Amino acid sequence: MTDLYLDLMEKCLLNTIYEDAPIDPWTGYKYDPHLRDVGRDWPGQAHTMIGQKRLHQLREACEIVIREGIAGDFIETGVWRGGACIMMRAVLKAYRITDRTVWCADSFEGLPQPDAEHYPEDTNDPHHTFIQLAVSLDQVKSNFVKYGLLDDQVRFLKGWFKDTLPSAPIGTVAVLRLDGDMYESTMQALDSLYDKVSLRGFVIVDDYGAVPGCQTAIKDFRAKRNISEPVVNIDWGGIYWRKVHPA
């Protein structure tokens, strides 16, 4: 029953059941299951745009840390409509886990304007102009409610990462999922949270293959912290590694 429930959650969160049309112009506003599978469209109604491959990998990562007894909460930095965080909460529900929290960190106002002075890698980054990426906190909470998964095991960190993450009351992290698109957002999340990731915990990056600034941030952080754990490709855009050594 656990697999049946989580399989259905994947289909609902991706809305592959009703095949809703995307809202991005590059798809011609037509549903394509192959694009939805690898997260290459922006769904009109679905609660996540990360695609089936990345959503399933997230589910598996959460299940693995539960099975292996790896301590820590789950967090996503950059949640959009909340779908990936809803999946993390669904996994906890399915396995009757009551001592872990799902943290949802987002401005809930879209992405920041590039700070080219401090993060030149983000110069001319257009993400702050995409109004489709601005989803309110109330809407994300409402999406959790639709699945019966909004409770005290879900906590929200509203604001820019530079303001919320350094002082966030998070102890240890078992699954860290980065979906901030930009160099600034990616680096700030890593600087604040990487040391909290448990050994054998997961670090998942959504935009590594999609946004050059994100990829550069990952490479720069891994280099400055001498991180040698191998990077595993999920699909064309997403990657992950498991933290084996303290950094």
Q: What is the pLDDT of residues 59-84, one digit of tens each?
A: 999 999 999 999 999 999 999 999 99
pLDDT surpasses 90 at 25: no
The domain spans of the chain are 50-242
Q: What predicted TM-score, i.e. pTM, was given to this entire model?
A: 0.97
Report the distance separating Cα 121 and Cα 221, nearest Å: 14
> Quick one: residue 152, left, alpha or beta (phi over 0 = left, psi -120 to 50 = alpha)?
alpha
Task: Give me 223's structure tokens.
Answer: 């280099």
Q: What is the pLDDT of residues 159-215, one digit of tens each?
A: 999 999 999 999 999 999 999 999 999 999 999 999 999 999 999 999 999 999 999
- Contact partners, residue 29, CB within 8 Å, separation at least 6: 21, 22, 23
pLDDT surpasses 90 at 247: no
Average pLDDT, the chain: 97
Confidence bin at 113 (pLDDT 50/70/90): very high
50-242, what's its fold? Rossmann fold (3.40.50)
- The sheet carrying 173-178 orders its strands as 154-158, 102-106, 73-77, 173-178, 197-205, 239-242, 232-233
Single out the residue of 218, 150, 122 nearest to residue 178, CA to CA: 218
Percent of the chain with pLDDT over 90: 97
Single out the residue of 57, 106, 59 nearest to residue 208, CA to CA: 57
Residue 88's CB is within 10 A of a number of other CB atoms, namely: 28
Percent of the chain with pLDDT over 70: 100
Report the distance separating Cα 43 and Cα 64, nearest Å: 28
